[in-house]
Amino acid sequence: MMAESITIARPYAKAAFSAAKDSGTLDQWSEMLAYSSLVAKNENMVVVLDHPALTSQQKASVFNDACGDKLNEHAQNLAYVLSEHGRISLLPEIANLFEAFKAQLEHSVDVEIESAFDLGTEQQEKLAQALTAKLDRTVNITASVNSELMGGAIIRTQDLVIDASVKGKLAKLAEAIGA
């Protein structure tokens, strides 16, 4: 269950985050967690992690070996702690939460913009300015093109969705007539 795994992952992410903050290694930790979560999702690694015959120590050392020299001593210790409770597979959630904490600290937010046509840099900048004002955060925009929208754009950030697409308006119209 996703909601539950997030609940379980939160204390680990918090611990990693405060450790990283205190030692001033936020970016390094962010990279390490991103890398290790990719490793944790690897098919072969999943087999190892679920293996009934291996001890948690063994699983953690296999995991750390697989990550090679990408992890520092602290991150390797995190793998041991997680492994002790059979929770290495939570690393992707931990990494996500870590990024969320980091973004909060840095006062930034990721924004996805889906538009019907390619946005020029000028338009993107305009949007970025408007969104910075609205959200009171610095925004990191990821833009994509989706011709299904027919016109306009959909802006997504965390839970908030601003729907200014023709498709969304048509859906609203259909609902109003059908009701």
Partner 1 sequence: MQQLNPAEISEIIKKRIEKLDVSSEARNEGTIVSVSDGIVLVHGLADVMYGEMVEFENGVYGMALNLERDSVGVVVLGDYNGLAEGQKARCTGRILEVPIGEALLGRVVDALGNPIDGKGPIETTLTAPLEKVAPGVIARKSVDEPVQTGLKAIDSMVPIGRGQRELIIGDRQTGKTAIAIDAIINQKNTGVKCIYVAIGQKQSSIAAVVRKLEEHDAMDHTIIVAAGAADPAAMLFLAPYGGTTMGEYFRDRGEDALIVFDDLTKQAWAYRQISLLLRRPPGREAYPGDVFYLHSRLFERASRVNGDYVEQHTNGEVKGKTGSLTALPIIETQGGDVSAFVPTNVISITDGQIFLETNLFNAGVRPAMNAGVSVSRVGGAAQTKIIKKLGGSIRLALAQYRELAAFAQFASDLDDATRKQLEHGQRVTELMKQKQYSPQSVAEMGVVLYAANEGFLDDVPVNKVVAFESAMLSYMKAEQAELLATINVKGDYNNDIANGIKAALETFKSTQTW
CB of 39 to partner 1, least distance (A): 24
Quick check: 126 and 176 in contact, CB under 8 A?
Answer: no
Query: Can you tell me which of 6, 19, 81, 100 binds partner 1, judged by CB under 8 A?
Result: 6
Lay out the site mask for partner 1 across 97-126 (x = CB under 8 A, - = otherwise): ------------------------------
Applying CB under 8 A, does 130 fall inside the site for partner 1?
no
- Per CB under 8 A, which region of 4-12, 19-27, 49-57, 124-132 contacts partner 1? 4-12
Find the binder of partner 1 among 47, 53, 133, 179 (CB under 8 A): 179
94: enclosing H helix or E strand = helix 91-106
Binding string, residues 131-160; x marks residues near partner 1 by CB under 8 A: ---------------------x---x-xxx
Tokens (6 digits) for 59: 């699983």
Distance CA 62, CA 66 (A): 6
CB 6, CB 93: distance < 8 Å? yes
Q: How far apart are CA 169 and CA 155, in angstroms?
A: 14
Window 8-37: contact mask with partner 1 (x via CB under 8 A)? --x---------------------------
Torsion of the alpha carbons at 151, 157, 158 and 159, rounded to the nearest 10 = -50
Residue 54: closest CA among 90, 84, 91: 84
Instruction: Give contact residues for partner 1 (rule: CB under 8 A).
Output: 1-4, 6-7, 10, 152, 156, 158-164, 168-169, 172-173, 175-177, 179
